[in-house]
Chain A
C-alpha cells in the first residue's frame, strides 16, 4: 500500500520534471552549445569557434561596463531594499489602526505594470517638468539631470526598482515578524531587556531565515535586472553612454538587436556561473542556527 502511494507520487512528479527538462534545461544546454559558435542568425554558415566568444568578452569594454553596472545595482539595491523593508515592517507592526491600508499602499507599486511605473518615474524625475526638481529648486538646490546624466541615471533607475520591490519586502517581513511568539518579548521585558536589546537578541536572529531568503532572491533578481532599465531609458539602449546597461540588457541588444546569438549566449553562460557562485556563497555563509 505504502509503496503504491510512493509510486503514484513519483508518477505525478514526473510531469513537472519532464516539463522543466524540456523548457528549462534543454535551452540552457543549447545556449552553452551556441556559445562555442559564431552563431549569427542571419548567416548561412555558423562556424565553430571554440572559446573565441569567451576571449572576446575579456577585452569587451561594454561587457565590463555592464558587469560593473549590474554589480552596482546589486550592492545598492539589495541592502537598501532590505533595510527599508524591515524598517517599514517594524513600524507597521507597532500600529493597529489602518495597518491593512498602509500595507496595501506599500504593496501597490509591486503589482503595478513596470511600463506604467517607469513612465511615472520619467515624469517625476524629468529635469524640466519633474516635481522632484521643482522641490529641489524650492530648497535652493540646483536642479539635477537624473536620467539624462551618465552619473545619476543608474541611481535613479535603482530607486525605481527598490520602490517597486519594497511592498513585497514589507509583506515578507510582516509574515516573519508574526511568526515570532509574543511570549519571548514578554519574557525579555520581565528580565529587564530594553527594546533595542529585544530587537538584537530576539527579532534579528529569529528573522534570519526571512533575511537570508530576501538576500538570496533579491541578489538573483538584481543580477538579472532588465525590464525597468529598458523601460526607463530611451530607445532601449540603456541610459546615456551605457551608464545603466545591465548584463541582461546587453545580452538582449546583442542577441535581438544585432543577431549575434553565439556571443550573447557566451555572456548568458558567464552570467549563469556568476549567479550560481554568488548564491552558493550566500547560502553557505548567511544561514545560521541560533540556539535560544
Chain B
C-alpha cells in the first residue's frame, strides 16, 4: 500500500516538478489569530509564488486532541502551532523535526529571543519557535479605583490587599463587586507557582524541571498568602460569574476592581470594557521589593515529520517568515501578543505603551514552566488550592499534596 502511494507520489512529483508546493498549516480558532495568519499568508505567497499555504483551524477545546490523533495516523499539517507546554510530548513522539541549524543557528536564537524561549530547547536543539509570547500583568478598573479614592494602581501585594478591601462590596458569597477577581484555574495558579513562590524566597522547580521544590517554607507562605486573599481579606470569590472565563467576564462587566490576566486578554478586554481601565506590572512583596517575577507562556510553530523534500524547504522558508521582525510587529498590532525577540521587546516606544508596556517590561524576568502534562499539572495545583478554600485544609498540607501529585506526573514522564 505504502509502496503504491510512494510510487504514485514519485510519479506525480516527477511529472509536475514546476508545480507549486502546498503546505498545510494548523492552528486553533481564535478570530484575531486566524485573520492575522490569513493576511500573513497572502504576504508570504506574494513573495514566494511557488509556495501555497493552506490554513486549517479547529476549536480550542478539540485542538490538542486533533493534533495528537494526527500523529499516529501520519497525516495532518506540515507546519503546526503548538502550546509550548506540549512540546516535550510531541518531540518524544517524533512528530517534530529539529529546525535546520544552518537556517536557525542555536546560539543566535539563545541570544536574540526572550529568555523563556529556552524552554523549547531539547537536547541542545530547537524544535519550534514562537512569533510572540505572553506574560501576566494586573488589569485594574480605574473608575472603581477613583470611587474608592485610590489614585495609583498597587505596587506591592500589601497595597493590592488594601485597595481591594476599599473596593469590595457585599459579603461572601453575595458580593456585588469584587476587590480582586480571584480564580485559581484562571491565571492565578501560575502566579502562585512561578511568582509568589519565588518572591517568598523559594524555587518552584529544580534546574532541569524534573523535580518539584516548592514543598518548602516559601511554598507554604505563598499558598497562605494567596488563599488569604479570599478567606482572610475577603476580596472576592472564584466563579463570581458563570462560565469558563468568569473572572475576565466579571471584570469586563465592571464588577471587579482588579484581575491578573495574560497579554492575550488585552483585545477581549479592550472590545468589551465600557469603563476606564489600566494595566500595571504584577505586584511585589514590600519585604522583598527587588524580587520581580512573572510567568511567561507562548505558542510555537514547528515543522512536522510530514514535510519532506521540497515541502521541507518551503516549510523552513515559511517559518523564517513567521519569526521575522516584520511579522512580530504585525502580530503585536493585530493580535496583541508581544514580540518574542529581545530587540523588539526593548523598543522604548513599546515599553512606554500604557497597555503593552507592563507586559513587555517583565520579559527579562518571566519564567516558563517545563510542562509534561499541562492538564494534569494544572489539576494538581487547582485541587490543592481548593482544599484550602473549600475544605479549610492547612496551606502546608495543600502544598505537600500538590507537590506529591505533580511529582508523580513528572516521574511517570521522565521514567
A, B bound: yes
A-side interface residues toward B, CB under 8 Å? Answer: 41-44, 119, 122-123, 126-128, 133, 137, 143-145, 147-150, 234-237, 240-242, 253, 256-259
The answer to whether B375 and A253 touch across the interface, beta carbons within 8 angstroms, is yes
The 8 A CB mask of B376-415 against A (1 = contact, 0 = none) is 1001001100110011000000000000000000000000
Determine how close the nearest CB of chain A comes to the CB of B241; give it in whole angstroms: 8
Whole-angstrom CA separation of A147 from B242 in the bound complex: 10
The answer to whether A41 and B68 touch across the interface, beta carbons within 8 angstroms, is yes
Q: Does B246 contact A (CB under 8 A)?
A: yes
How many residues of B are counted as interface, with CB atoms below 8 angstroms from the partner's CB atoms? 38
Q: Does B11 contact A (CB under 8 A)?
A: no
- Interchain residue pairs A-B with the least CB separation, the first 7: A122-B242, A127-B173, A42-B93, A257-B375, A42-B89, A256-B65, A148-B239
Q: A123-B242, A149-B390, A150-B390 are in contact. Are A44 and B92 (CB under 8 A)?
A: yes
B-side interface residues toward A, CB under 8 Å? Answer: 61, 64-65, 68-69, 71-72, 89-90, 92-95, 170, 173-176, 185, 237-244, 246, 373, 375-376, 379, 382-383, 386-387, 390-391
Whole-angstrom CA separation of A150 from B95 in the bound complex: 40
CB-nearest residue of chain A to B95? A42
A123 contacts across to B, CB distance below 8 A: 242
Q: Which of B68, B69, B240 contacts A128 (CB 8 A)?
A: B240
Q: Which of A145, A234, A242 contacts B383 (CB 8 A)?
A: A242
The answer to whether B238 and A148 touch across the interface, beta carbons within 8 angstroms, is yes
CB-nearest residue of chain B to A134? B174
CB-nearest residue of chain B to A43? B93
The answer to whether B71 and A234 touch across the interface, beta carbons within 8 angstroms, is no
The answer to whether A128 and B185 touch across the interface, beta carbons within 8 angstroms, is no
A240 contacts across to B, CB distance below 8 A: 386, 390
Whole-angstrom CA separation of A158 from B298 in the bound complex: 39
Q: Which of A123, A235, A237, A242 has the most CB of B within 10 A?
A: A235
The answer to whether A241 and B387 touch across the interface, beta carbons within 8 angstroms, is yes
The answer to whether A234 and B244 touch across the interface, beta carbons within 8 angstroms, is yes
Determine how close the nearest CB of chain A comes to the CB of B174; give it in whole angstroms: 5
24 A-B pairs whose Cβ atoms sit less than 8 Å apart in the complex = A41-B69, A41-B71, A42-B89, A42-B95, A126-B242, A127-B174, A128-B170, A128-B240, A143-B173, A148-B173, A148-B237, A148-B238, A148-B239, A149-B390, A150-B390, A150-B391, A234-B239, A235-B185, A240-B386, A240-B390, A241-B383, A242-B383, A257-B64, A258-B376
Determine how close the nearest CB of chain A comes to the CB of B365; give it in whole angstroms: 28
B94 contacts across to A, CB distance below 8 A: 44
B387 contacts across to A, CB distance below 8 A: 241
A253 contacts across to B, CB distance below 8 A: 375
Q: Which of A144, A149, A237 has the most CB of B within 10 A?
A: A237
Whole-angstrom CA separation of A241 from B185 in the bound complex: 12
B90 contacts across to A, CB distance below 8 A: 42
Whole-angstrom CA separation of A234 from B64 in the bound complex: 19
CB-nearest residue of chain B to A150? B390
CB-nearest residue of chain B to A148? B239
The answer to whether A258 and B375 touch across the interface, beta carbons within 8 angstroms, is yes
The answer to whether B244 and A128 touch across the interface, beta carbons within 8 angstroms, is no
B382 contacts across to A, CB distance below 8 A: 237
Whole-angstrom CA separation of A253 from B170 in the bound complex: 37
Determine how close the nearest CB of chain B comes to the CB of A228; give it in whole angstroms: 14
A119 contacts across to B, CB distance below 8 A: 242-243
CB-nearest residue of chain A to B246? A234
Whole-angstrom CA separation of A242 from B72 in the bound complex: 31
B390 contacts across to A, CB distance below 8 A: 148-150, 240-241
Determine how close the nearest CB of chain B comes to the CB of A245; give it in whole angstroms: 11
Whole-angstrom CA separation of A258 from B68 in the bound complex: 10
A235 contacts across to B, CB distance below 8 A: 185, 244
Whole-angstrom CA separation of A125 from B383 in the bound complex: 22
Determine how close the nearest CB of chain A comes to the CB of B415; give it in whole angstroms: 11
Determine how close the nearest CB of chain B comes to the CB of A237; give it in whole angstroms: 6
The answer to whether A41 and B72 touch across the interface, beta carbons within 8 angstroms, is yes
CB-nearest residue of chain A to B389? A240
B244 contacts across to A, CB distance below 8 A: 234-235
Determine how close the nearest CB of chain B comes to the CB of A128; give it in whole angstroms: 6
Whole-angstrom CA separation of A256 from B68 in the bound complex: 9
Whole-angstrom CA separation of A119 from B244 in the bound complex: 11
CB-nearest residue of chain A to B89? A42
B241 contacts across to A, CB distance below 8 A: 126
Determine how close the nearest CB of chain A comes to the CB of B168; give it in whole angstroms: 12
Whole-angstrom CA separation of A236 from B241 in the bound complex: 16
The answer to whether A43 and B242 touch across the interface, beta carbons within 8 angstroms, is no
18 other A-B residue contacts (CB within 8 Å) besides A144-B173, A148-B173:
A41-B69, A41-B72, A42-B89, A42-B95, A119-B243, A122-B243, A126-B242, A128-B170, A128-B240, A133-B173, A133-B174, A137-B174, A148-B237, A234-B239, A237-B185, A241-B390, A258-B375, A259-B68
Q: Which of B72, B89, B174 contacts A143 (CB 8 A)?
A: B174
A122 contacts across to B, CB distance below 8 A: 242-243
CB-nearest residue of chain A to B376? A258
The answer to whether B391 and A241 touch across the interface, beta carbons within 8 angstroms, is yes
CB-nearest residue of chain B to A257? B375
Whole-angstrom CA separation of A257 from B375 in the bound complex: 7
A126 contacts across to B, CB distance below 8 A: 241-242
B71 contacts across to A, CB distance below 8 A: 41-42
